[in-house]
Chain A
Amino acid sequence: MGNSVLKLKKSDSAVPLLTLLLSAGVFLFAGSPFFAGGKGDRVKVYVDGKEYADFPLNEERDIIISGHAGLNNRLIIKNGEADIVDADCPDKLCVHQKSISKDKETIVCLPNRVVIEIEGRTEGAVDAVSR
């Protein structure tokens, strides 16, 4: 085997550069929660891509969401934050994700096909642009 393939080449730097460009592109395309993270207003729950429920973020709530294939996620809305605290899914990645409160932030449970999404006031966004 030629040893040249085993040493770091200058051309290798193209990969991290393209990665950074692509990451920046995705952020701009999808609307980053870090840049556009206005205050959230409502908690929307989607199951299988369809809207399942819609709650105000400022009211305390403790809900069991029945996801895909009858698996459940427990959603708690408290202190202006939404969080999944328990789930029947096998990997529990949704439980480990941080609680969300800002516009466009999401918590996803892939096995149960549940998406929790925060929505802000659209009027607020228009105001911010016109200012």
Chain B
Amino acid sequence: MQSRGRMTAYLAISVALGMMLSYVEALLPVFFGVPGMKPGLSNILVVFLLYTFGWKAALDVNITRIILSGILFGNPFSIIYSLAGALSSFAVMILLKRFSFFSVYGVSMAGGVCHNIGQIAVAMLLVENYRIILYLPPLLISGCFTGFLVGLISAGLLIRIGNIVYD
């Protein structure tokens, strides 16, 4: 293992990187008129951290990223929705990773899908209209697809620089 100082530096770099990914994502237009359909770029970072520094570090970095980028590029609502999505996605990814039934691809796809489920659940509570659930099917399918791409990129990163923790 490594020193506390090195760990802090790595995690700070991760937060900065996550904020950049959030910014890039905020610049992208809405896809196909369905709100909430997005590539989930910062999930690459979360999956990478989950498989290298462990779930505690990944959770800390992700929550810090969401709050900071929410203040910078979003609004209080986007923070609530992002947190709801991120936490439900995160809980599922930790569980699935622990059971090691899936590879990083399966974990990342399940994370993408659950991100959208969490967001729609919060939206239904806030707007008090169950019809919003009709946005769920396209979001689930896009979440699964982008989750696969996130898994592909994360696996590539893990193969190349996954040993960063032990250097």
Residues of A in contact with B (beta carbons under 8 Å apart): 1, 3-9, 11-12, 14-16, 19-20, 22-24, 26-27, 29-30, 32-33, 46, 48-49, 90-91, 93-94, 96-98, 104, 106, 108, 110-111, 113, 115, 117
Contact = CB atoms under 8 A, between A and B. Distances in A.
B72 to A, nearest CB: 13
B103 interface: yes
Instruction: Specify the main secondary structure of chain B where it touches its partner.
Output: helix
Nearest to A31: B134
Contact of A26 (B33, B105, B136): B136
Interface stretch (B8-16, B58-66, B125-133): B125-133
A7 B102 CA distance: 10
Interface in B112-167: 113, 123, 126-138, 140-141, 143-144, 147-148, 155, 158-159, 162-163
B129 A46 contact: yes
B141 A12 contact: no
Nearest to B127: A113
A8 B100 CA distance: 12
Contact of B109 (A7, A16, A26): A16
Interface string B1-45: 000000000000000000000000000011001111000000000
Contacts of A12: 102-103, 105-106, 109
